[in-house]
């Protein structure tokens, strides 16, 4: 009896390891929240590369130190990015989950904040901007549908201030750090 149980457990373990996905999912649609809320779609370009599109709202909160009172705003944002998930094989060989693109990644994020509208409790002026930010990050699963993602990158931002009535445009180095928790709808393999 012990021998049959041991053999059954061994077969199930081998099946689990062999069934681990070692490539990018065909398509993933989900939502994420952190310092904002976003909807995203990732689709496979190759076994290790996915193309991600995202639309949502970034959040800003400030205190009354520089403004009359505490405030917040939600500003629309659009981004696209190719993502290289580079450690599927290593994770699978250690019996770690790789479904839902659960892996480390490198990306070149193209990020646009249009000056369409803002949702705020104060009268604020906003300026459109465009950023290019090389980023390193990780995504990990929390159960069947939930995941978390974190990343950091250093890039460059162009501010289109003249279009908003300011004397001249501006640009500069940008540090981008994100920490998000998300919900993944059913993925296609």
Per-position DSSP letters for 80-149, written without gaps between them: EEEEEE--HHHHHHTT---GGG-SEEEEEEEEEE-SS--EESS------EEEEEEEEEEEEEETTTEEEE
For the entire predicted model, the pTM comes to 0.79
Residues sharing a CB contact under 8 Å with residue 177, sequence separation 6 or more, in sequence order: 151, 152
For 131-185, the pLDDT digits (tens) are 999 999 999 999 889 999 999 999 999 999 888 778 888 999 999 999 999 999 9
* Number of neighbours of residue 160 by Cβ within 10 angstroms: 17
Q: What are 3-10's contacts with CB under 8 Å, separation 24+?
A: none
Asked if 26 and 43 count as a contact pair (C-beta separation under 8 A), the reply is yes
Tell me: the pLDDT tens digits for 102-118?
899 999 999 999 989 99
């Amino acid at each position: 009896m012990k021998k049959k149980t041991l053999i059954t457990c061994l077969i199930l373990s081998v099946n689990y390891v062999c069934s681990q996905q070692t490539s990018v999912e065909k398509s993933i649609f989900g939502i994420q929240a952190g310092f904002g809320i976003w909807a995203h779609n990732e689709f496979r370009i190759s076994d290790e590369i996915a193309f991600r599109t995202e639309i949502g709202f970034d959040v800003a909160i400030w205190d009354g130190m520089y403004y009359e009172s505490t405030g917040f705003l939600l500003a629309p944002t659009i981004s696209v990015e190719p993502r290289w998930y580079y450690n599927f094989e290593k994770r699978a060989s250690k019996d770690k989950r790789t479904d839902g693109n659960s892996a480390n990644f490198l990306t070149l994020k193209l990020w646009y904040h249009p000056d369409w509208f803002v949702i705020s409790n104060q009268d604020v002026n906003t300026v459109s901007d465009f950023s290019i930010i090389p980023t390193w990050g990780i995504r990990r699963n929390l159960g069947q549908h939930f995941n978390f993602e974190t990343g950091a990158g250093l890039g460059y931002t162009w501010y289109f201030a003249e279009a908003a009535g300011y004397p001249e445009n501006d640009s500069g180095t940008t540090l981008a750090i994100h920490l998000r928790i998300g919900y993944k709808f059913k993925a296609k393999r």
